[in-house]
Amino acid sequence: MIRILAPVDRVDEVDKLIDAGADEIYCGLVPSEWLHKYTAIVALTRRPAPSANLKSFKELEECVEIAHSHNAEVSLTINEHYYRADQYDLLLKITEKAADIGVDYIVLSDLGLLLTLRKMNIGVKLHVSIGGVALNSEAIKFYQELGVLRVQLPRDLTIEEIREICNEVSGIQLGAFILNSKCANIDGFCTFLHFPPMGPLYNNACMLSYEVFVDSNEDEEKKIVAGVRQKVWERFHIDDRPCGACALYDFNEMNLGFVKIVGRGYPTPKKILDVTFIRTLLNYLYEKKPSREAFRLFAKSLYNRFYNRECRVIMCYYPEVMLEWSEQHI
Amino acid sequence: MERAAYITKIENILRIDTKFYQRIYFGQEFCERLLPSPEDLKRAIDFARENKLQFTLITPYVTNRGLRELRYLLDLIASETPQNEVVFNDYGVLRMLKRRYPELKPVMGRLLNKMKRDPRILFIASMLPIDAIRYFRGLSIDNPIYRDFLIQNNITRIELDNVFQGFDINLSISGISASIYVPYAYVTTTRACLAINCDVYGMEDIVGIFPCKRECQKYTFYLKSSAMPTILIRKGNTIFVRNEKVPSYIDKIGVDRIVYEIDLI
């Protein structure tokens, strides 16, 4: 059964999201000591905004207590792409405290942190985030040999590429993103900064407005079209309900371990809606055992109903599904 | 300071000044579809051999399909010139090198050091506390556990971009040396390449991991924004910035090779 990982940034969300159908929760925590030393521009997690993170270990402890009372596991993200050695005093304080509190998984990207936690053996399971960029089965095995129990596959794989990986690895849980925040770039290879809210000049680089100049020997008409196309970058990362729900049918076939709903920092009603949407689809899949085509039709209509939007290629995690679908139905 | 010429296309091999350079980098870092053919790789190896240049094969991040294609190239280089360097930008490729090609020398590629390359660091540097500046000028391999892991895996060279914020590292005491790439630093990369079908009207929003006609070889895009202190260069699936000014102190921090990028993607 595919597990749903839901984002939490406030204690009162834990019950609500589990009631809505989440199997597990994940959260971030940025202690004031970190902010004082580095500011939020040097991120501790991939969602550095204060609104996307718990504020204290007390809040984390409460989240863990509530989640565990429902038999739901808790993952803590410490998943910035890299940390320097002089940050480890604070990093290890955070991870050791999280382990004491009973956090089940640390979600991480930095190989240095992974190797350090493995050596320390602090009793918390290791989950490699998309920042670990595991695009192939050899990369999964690389992490597996280092003691990792879970790997989040990057957004940048097709369903068939995910299927091939699932066929070639065993003994490790794999997961995929399913909703929200369709990043234009490979997260783990993107070196642009994610600023905390600082005004429009500090938006994500892929959301800024650019003047585009085209260098090519092609004719002028083609160059104009090619230049206009590049502007799509500015619309790619805007969170207008990106979705990969149609792929749940295939993920279930592949025995994928979990799907992760992006959304730390989003309003609670939006998070509840997202969890309810995915839970409804999984229930339909398990109870009705539909064909792939019937499932996709159901997912599409449910998406329209929940989000009041049509499916769009640009907001589709696995757009090859939409193109297959349109070839069959147009 | 060793000088290396980096080309991604075999037709550019004749642009290499064999008197100036001591080494050739050949291959592809950003797209498995652009991996060279074994024939082109053989030509590059032969050219290096004939001109008494050292040779480095450079490899991209890959899917399982890319791993399979890469094996043809690794088989060839392992048989032609064992002990040569192979730059990996994917831990899956590293695993394959260790298990199947232990005679080849792995070098950790620039995509894996994760230093921030956002040019806007230049705008905010004066506002940041010293610990934040040090972070942006640093690397994760100053963690001794990470460094030991690299050395245990026979990785004694890492590749760096010439970042605008400069460096606050000292590799010279660590047993690891570094190369620095000029004039282009990569900033980000994607598999949802915006070159695919870019010149076909009506396909603007059809973005995904789709077949391509190598449109990247016909177009280069320059992106200008008042929010960015420099122009971004989009070539194929990757964004670069240009920074030709190499810091004067690089030899003191463990950089002993400059990799000159003759072409891009």
| Domain co-membership, A256 together with A282 | yes
Identify whether A167 is part of a domain. yes
Q: A217: nearest CA in chain B?
A: B218
Q: Are residues A282 and A221 in the same domain?
A: no
Residue numbers of the domain that contains B130: 2-184+244-261
The answer to whether residues A230 and B225 touch, using CB atoms and an 8 Å cutoff, is no
**For the CA atoms of chain A, what is the radius of gyration?**
20
- CB–CB of B209 and A157 under 8 A? yes
Element (H, E) at B87: strand B85-88
- Say whether pLDDT at A111 is over 90: yes
Residue A236 is predicted with a pLDDT of: 77
Query: Both A57 and A122 in a single domain?
Result: yes
Q: Which residues of B touch A185 (CB under 8 A)?
A: 188-190
**B189 inside domain:** no
Confidence of residue A48 (pLDDT cuts 50, 70, 90): confident
A165 CB contacts (<8 Å, ≥6 apart)? A136, A137, A140, A153, A157, A174, B64
In a domain, A51, yes or no: yes
pLDDT number for residue A330: 42
- Asked if residue A242 lies in contact with residue A182, where contact means CB atoms within 8 angstroms, the answer is yes
Domain count, chain B: 1
Contact A189 B117 (CB under 8 A): no
- By three-state DSSP, how is residue B159 classified? strand
Which chain B residues are closer than 8 Å to A206 by Cβ?
188
Q: Nearest CA of chain B to the CA of A65: how many Å?
A: 33
User: Do residue A72 and residue A103 come from a single domain?
Assistant: yes
The shortest CB-CB distance from B145 to any of A112, A134, A138 is to A112
- Give the contacts of B187 (CB within 8 A, at least 6 positions apart): A190, A191, A192, A205, B117, B118, B119, B232, B239, B240, B241
Domain membership of residue A203 (yes or no) is yes
Q: Is B39 in a helix, a strand, or coil?
A: helix
Residue B105's CATH number: 3.20.20.380
What is the per-residue pLDDT across A135-144, written as a single tens digit (0 to 9) for each?
A: 999 999 999 9
Tell me if A188 is assigned to some domain. no
Q: Are residues A97 and A207 in the same domain?
A: no
In the predicted structure, residue A329 carries a pLDDT above the cut 60:
no
User: Are A85 and B113 within 8 A, CB to CB?
Assistant: no
What pLDDT score was predicted for residue A309?
A: 94
Co-location of A88 and A218 in the same domain: no
- Is residue A175 domain-shared with residue A206, that is, in the same domain? no
pLDDT score of A270? 97
Note the ipTM here. 0.97
Local structure of A27: helix, strand or coil: strand
| Cα nearest neighbour of A88 on chain B | B143
How many Cβ atoms are within 10 Å of A207's Cβ, its own excluded?
15
B170 touches chain A (CB under 8 A): no
Listed residue (B165, B185, B197) closest to B233, CA to CA = B185
Q: Is residue B225 part of a domain?
A: no
* Most A CBs within 10 Å, among B146, B168, B189, to test the A interface: B146
Residue B114 and residue A191: Cβ atoms within 8 Å?
Answer: yes
Let me know if B252 is exposed, middle or buried by CB neighbors in 10 A (0-12, 13-18, 19+).
exposed
The count of residues in chain A is: 330
Q: How many domains does chain A have?
A: 2
Least CB–CB distance from B194: residue in A39, A214, A229: A229
User: Does A56 share its domain with A148?
Assistant: yes
Q: What is the pTM of this model?
A: 0.96
| pLDDT confidence bin for B196, thresholds 50/70/90 | very high
Residue A283, in any domain of the structure: yes
A229 & A250 share domain: no
Whether A189 maps to a domain, the answer reads: no
For residue A250, the distance in angstroms to the closest alpha carbon of chain B comes to 18
Residue B201 lies in a domain: no
For CA atoms A97, A99, A104, A109, the dihedral sign is positive
Instruction: Write out the residue range of the structural domain in which residue A101 sits.
Output: 3-183+241-329
pLDDT computed for residue B135 by the predictor: 97
The domain that holds A113 is classified in CATH as: 3.20.20.380
Residue A23 lies in a domain: yes
- Which residues in chain B are contacts of A233 at CB distance < 8 A? 194
Q: Do A184 and B192 touch (CB under 8 A)?
A: yes
Per-residue pLDDT tens over the stretch A298-318: 999 999 999 999 999 899 999
Cis peptide leading into B183, omega within 30 of 0?
yes
The nearest CA of chain B is from the CA of A186 a distance in Å of 5
